[in-house]
Amino acid sequence: MPRRDDIKKVLIIGSGPIIIGQACEFDYSGTQACKALKEEGYEVVLVNSNPATIMTDPGMADKTYIEPLTIESIEKIIEKERPDALLPNLGGQTALNLSASLSKAGILKKYNVEVIGVKTDAIERGEDRIIFKETMNKLGIEMPTSEPCHSVEEAEKIAEKIGYPVVLRPAYTMGGTGGGIAYNIEELRTIVSRGLSVSIVHQVLVEESVIGWEELELEVVRDAKGQKITVCFIENIDAMGVHTGDSFCAAPMLTVPEKLQKRMQEAAYKIVDAIGVTGGTNVQFAHNLKDDRLVVIEINPRTSRSSALASKATGFPIARISTKLAAGLTMDEIPYWKEGTLEKYAPSGEYVVIKFARWAFEKFPGSQDVLGTQMRAVGEVMSIGKNFKEAFLKAIRSLEIKRYGLGGAKDFKELSLDRLKEKLANPSSERIFLVYEALRKGMSPEELYKLTHIGIWFLTQMQELVQFEEKVLTCKWEDLADEQLIEAKKLGFADKYLAGLFNVDEKKIRDKRIALGMHGRFEAVPVSGVENAAYYYSTYNAEDTVPVSLNKKIMILGGGPNRIGQGIEFDYTCVHAAFTLRDEGYESIMVNCNPETVSTDYDTSNKLYFEPLTVEDVLTIYEKEKPEGVIVQFGGQTPLNIAQELKDNGVKILGTTPESIHLAEDRERFREKMIALGVPQPESGIARSLEEAIDISEKIGYPLMVRPSYVLGGRGMEVIYDQVMLKRYAIEAIQVSPEHPMLIDRFLEDAIEAEVDALSDGENTFVASIMEHIELAGVHSGDSACAIPPHSIPEKHIKTIEGYTAKIAKELEVVGLMNIQYAICDDKVYILEANPRASRTVPIVSKIMGIQTARIATQLMLGKKLKDFPELKSEKVSYVGVKEAVFPFNMFPEVDPLLGPEMRATGEVMGIADSFAKAFYKAEEAAGAKLPVKGNILLTVADRDKPALLPIAEHVKKLGFNIYATEGTGTYLKAHGIDTTFVKKVHEGRPNVSDSIKNKEIQLVINTPVGRTSKYDDSYIRMMAIQHKVPYITSMAAAQASIEGIEAVNNADIAPKALQDYYKE
């Protein structure tokens, strides 16, 4: 069937902000969807609240709406744009759920919008656990025994029938949100009540536990004719019980017999036929090794994290193909392999792909490093190798956790076998490293299998690595036989890891292996469904078969795995660099190992190397390709960490030099520079011991801002109010990074923080925009909401900031992008820090200001000057964009959801409107905290915030809200003539705040923390608010902005508007 001509305009819903369980893989799939639809000649309308995405670039769709992903907002867009069709299955669970809700609400019917790809009834058949189970029964496909419940009591009865442990799965959620394993009735009650509250249909499935079974996944694609292919067979190496997002996996399946693979394929085909999906579907199975029982766990009738992985692992662009199939094409019309067509696809390839997750437990003190049915990973890496060991060790070094192999992590090598066993009893993010040490201590794969349920074959592979390691360790580097070094490289050991084992310089290892002819060689992964495309991976186990062109080339180093503080924003800049290089006549070469991204899409760059971002791996590619230079300033901290070493090895770095970047990070030298330039900084000092820290604190005075040097995302940063805190911190901080000193700054209280993204050609500088943070200084810039352009900074300070920025850029000889953070305190501008590299605000600034900053920065690095861009003028825009951060606190229920100097946001959203207040309201709505326009507001603030609360409370009253207040706050307000309803804190008896929140009496919580000195912790208020989805605000600045937003919405309707229309103004 050819493409449908009865459809002209298609609406795509994106997945919104990056959260745990839903990350930039949906930018990858959404971007492919936009491209595929445009290729077929359709008009594309896109809505997504996430500004950091490539898909929301104005060139990707005809109309781009950065608007909240709510029914109301999308209805308005549909009303305005009148699309013929809606594509629901490319924007993750968010888009799928929204599409289902839009259909249920009759909106699609009202505006005559047809759902293409996955019809709404198919969504229901796939997602509703009751209907799905009925369908499976009809098909004769087994599932774990289970029953749905709608209440805790019901759950108890079912669990008794099935027997503990039971798995609890809320309907219509992703990333296993709110689910869990209950071993007893108490755990059951807790998890079920949490699960019921997060499920949009208040339904939780109580399921027989299949913990310890093999977890296997198929990615199948079906077209409208009912033709089906299997793109990829994925083997989760962690067994059932660890969420697939946290599991490490292999593709193709390595230890699953052909017959079982066929059995799963047959079941999967029956399922997608019965559900009626057009496009890609992920089908998850559990297989019991003891009795060969095979059960279906669930399906995802949409692109997913697994489909992104499957696409990258096989070279089959699932999202692109799914989109074309939704547009009416069938697989027999899409090319594959020498005049063949796609319905004949079968997976092939001669390599092993490993996926490994990256976690961020260290960011959430108090959270437990335990892996279960709820996903905890914030990012992942993919590696390709010729054998399992090579791919696996590559995956480890791709993670960028300062580990280059499996051994010697933390103190694990010193732990006794008993202690290791104890630690291995519960799956954690460290399990593989613990397994390695347990193997070293002589534990057998069979015993370890019983403890971890990791397949014996995989454990044996690790055992062989550890045995090799132990054997070579018996000799010194000088005595190591050539054959042993060759074998080590064939097994996949990194130079750096070997350097650590033998305690020699990495370069020594490199020189010797190259002298032995052991240089990395390359092989191709061909791309299906398009002609002549491929990407590449290195191996020490084959001949080099990848040709090199004679073109002018430039290499871009990507950002590696997503983590808190470094995510999709850096991928955005890298992608733009690749596009620009191509336009400028260069061959672009991308190096990255993150399968979720657009940068690792096959057509983003001319050549993609799917490789770890370590010195060894990058040098190998550099030496093969011999590019004219390497761009390191776009991939976040990742490439910067290796930039100097690359340069020392003869690599030409484009743009700002590694020395300048280093200087900006060297506090002492940077301070000297600032003094010389006359740019004020908060008083500060550097302490190398506790005594020095105390001396400095006495000189500067509390409060203080302290941090270790060389960090991104504010790792380890804290505000210190007294000496007790200081002492505790100094000891911890110095433990965190012993080679690096501790930095102490005066904490600027009540300061407004402003941030600048600037472009520089080494001489001249252009400030793309100043961003004004809503939260005051002290909250990490990545966690703070901010407004572009600034809405309250006086013109004179703007001029000062621009002047300082130009001076600093010139001094640091910045060529490319630079980000500087300032604070305005007592009418004076201070510089907080400068980063001569792309920042996470580049995409949002580009989008609001309509300036392609990453593109221009790339051109500057290629030698252009700012004067070549006459269109760059400091123009005022007539609208405001507000960024709001999105946090994973719902995934870490035990953690106090407070903002501080350490970044904890996983993603961001943007609201854009003609006024700050409206934009802020939209941003909050997009972040999932829709502000109420009527009802009750709870006010409970710290003493120091009480004066600032008065005008807010008055304003709230005027807007018609009732005020609930706790005793201290209420008394203060009453004394100033404002009446409140008194509520008890939890330790004061019942009914209390907790009851009011549970009973939905409270529509908005404004709560600033009383601090650690307070006798009673008030963190439960914020945790309650999250659990019960009540918007909560923890700073006075945000409270003020919220009230303005509420007022603006009271007075005027908020309308959606496309980016392209804003630019026309």
Partner 1 sequence: MDTLVCNHKRQRAKLALEDGRIFPGFSFGATGTALGEVVFNTSLAGYQEILTDPSYKGQMVTMTYPLIGNYGVNEEDVESHKPFVEAFIVKECSRIASNWRSTMTLDEYLKKNNIIGIEGVDTRAITRHARLQGAMKAVLSTEDLDDKSLVAKAKASTGLVGVDLVKEVTSSEIKHWTKEGKYKVVVLDCGVKLNILRELAGLDCQVIVVPASTTAEEILALNPDGLMLSNGPGDPAAVTYVVETVKQLIGKLPMFGICLGHQMLGQALGGKTYKLKFGHHGGNQPVKDLKTGKIDISVQNHGFCVDIDSLNKDDIEITHINLNDQTLEGIRHKKLPIISVQFHPEACPGPHDSKYLFKQFMEMIENA
Contact 607, 626 (CB under 8 A): no
Q: Residue 269 in contact with residue 220, Cβ under 8 Å?
A: yes
Give the shortest CB-111-to-partner 1 separation in angstroms: 40
Indicate the helix (H) or strand (E) that contains 762. none
Please tell me the distance from the alpha carbon of residue 139 to that of residue 813, in angstroms, as a whole number.
67
Least separation in angstroms between CB 440 and partner 1: 14
Token duo for residue 982: 């008194």
Nearer to partner 1, 255 or 551 (CB): 255
- Name the packing angle between helices 495-502 and 506-515 (round to 10°): 120
Nearer to partner 1, 70 or 341 (CB): 341
Q: Which residue, 471 or 1012, is less far from partner 1 as judged by CB? A: 471
- If the CB atoms of residues 247 and 429 are measured against partner 1, the closer one turns out to be 247
Asked if 755 contacts 822 with a C-beta cutoff of 8 angstroms, the reply is yes
Q: Smallest distance, Å, CB 460 to partner 1?
A: 5
Q: How far is the CB of 459 from partner 1 (least distance, A)?
A: 9
- Does residue 268 contact residue 283 with C-beta atoms inside 8 Å? yes
Mapping DSSP to helix (H, G, I), strand (E, B) and coil, where does residue 417 land? helix
What does the alpha-carbon distance between residue 572 and residue 601 come to, in Å, rounded to a whole number? 12
Minimum gap (Å) between residue 847 Cβ and partner 1: 43
* CB 291, min distance to partner 1, A: 8
**Residue 145 CB coordination number (10 Å):** 16
* Phi, psi (deg, nearest 5) at residue 238: -75, 140
- CA distance to 371, 541, 584, 741, 781, per residue, from 904 (Å): 19, 41, 38, 23, 10
Which is closer to partner 1, CB of 395 or CB of 779? 395
What helix, strand, coil percent values describe the chain, rounded to 5?
40, 20, 40
Residue (69 or 253) nearer to partner 1, CB: 253
Query: Tell me, what amino acid is at 61?
Result: A
Shortest Å, Cβ 122 to partner 1? 25
Of 340 and 947, CB closest to partner 1? 340
Least distance in Å: CB of 463 to partner 1?
Answer: 9
Minimum distance from residue 457 beta carbon to partner 1 (Å): 3
Nearer to partner 1, 465 or 663 (CB): 465
Is the Cβ of residue 351 or residue 404 nearer to partner 1 in the bound state? 351
Residue number, 257 or 678, with CB nearest to partner 1: 257
Spell out the residues 6+ positions from residue 707 whose beta carbon is closer than 8 angstroms to its own. Answer: 714, 715, 716, 717, 718, 733, 742, 743, 901
To the nearest whole angstrom, how small is the minimum distance from the Cβ of residue 352 to partner 1? 7
Instruction: List, in sequence order, every residue forming a beta bridge with 476; answer none if it has no partner.
Output: none
Q: Which is nearer to partner 1, 579 or 610 (CB)?
A: 610
Return the number of the residue (467 or 689) whose C-beta is nearest partner 1.
Answer: 467
Residue 935, Ramachandran bin (φ over 0: left; ψ between -120 and 50: alpha; else beta): left
Please state at what angle helix 1036-1051 crosses helix 916-926, rounded to 10 degrees. 100
C-alpha span between 797 and 804 (Å, rounded): 10
Terminal-to-terminal C-alpha distance of the chain = 42
Q: 235 or 1001, CB closer to partner 1?
A: 235
Let me know: does 599 contact 590? Beta carbons within 8 Å: yes
CB of 221: closest distance to partner 1 in angstroms?
A: 14
DSSP 496: H
Tell me the closest approach of the beta carbon of residue 427 to partner 1, in angstroms: 19
Is the Cβ of residue 121 or residue 343 nearer to partner 1 in the bound state? 343
Q: How far is the CB of 467 from partner 1 (least distance, A)?
A: 5
Report the distance separating Cα 224 and Cα 330, nearest Å. Answer: 6
Q: How far is the CB of 251 from partner 1 (least distance, A)?
A: 10
Q: How many other CB atoms are found less than 10 A from the CB of residue 96?
A: 26
Q: What are the b/e assignments for 697-732, b being 16+ CB within 10 Å? A: beebeebbbbbbbbbbbbbbbbbbeeeebbeebbee
Contact 1026, 890 (CB under 8 A): yes
Residue from 890, 944, 913, 917 nearest 776 by CA = 944
SS3 at position 463: helix
Please answer whether residues 317 and 530 qualify as being in contact, where contact means their C-beta atoms are separated by less than 8 angstroms: yes
Nearer to partner 1 among residue 191 and residue 465 (C-beta): 465
Choice between 344 and 669, CB closer to partner 1: 344
Please give the residue ranges that form the binding site for partner 1 (CB under 8 A).
233, 252-259, 261, 289-290, 292, 332, 336-341, 344-352, 386-388, 445, 455-458, 460, 464, 467-468, 471, 483, 487, 490-491, 523, 541-543, 545
CB of 1056 to partner 1, least distance (A): 46
Q: Which long-range contacts (CB under 8 A, 24 or more apart) does 674-678 make?
A: 674/808, 674/831, 677/804, 677/807, 677/808, 677/811
Question: What torsion, rounded to 10 degrees, do the Cα atoms 884, 885, 891, 895 define?
Answer: -110
Q: How far is the CB of 508 from partner 1 (least distance, A)?
A: 22
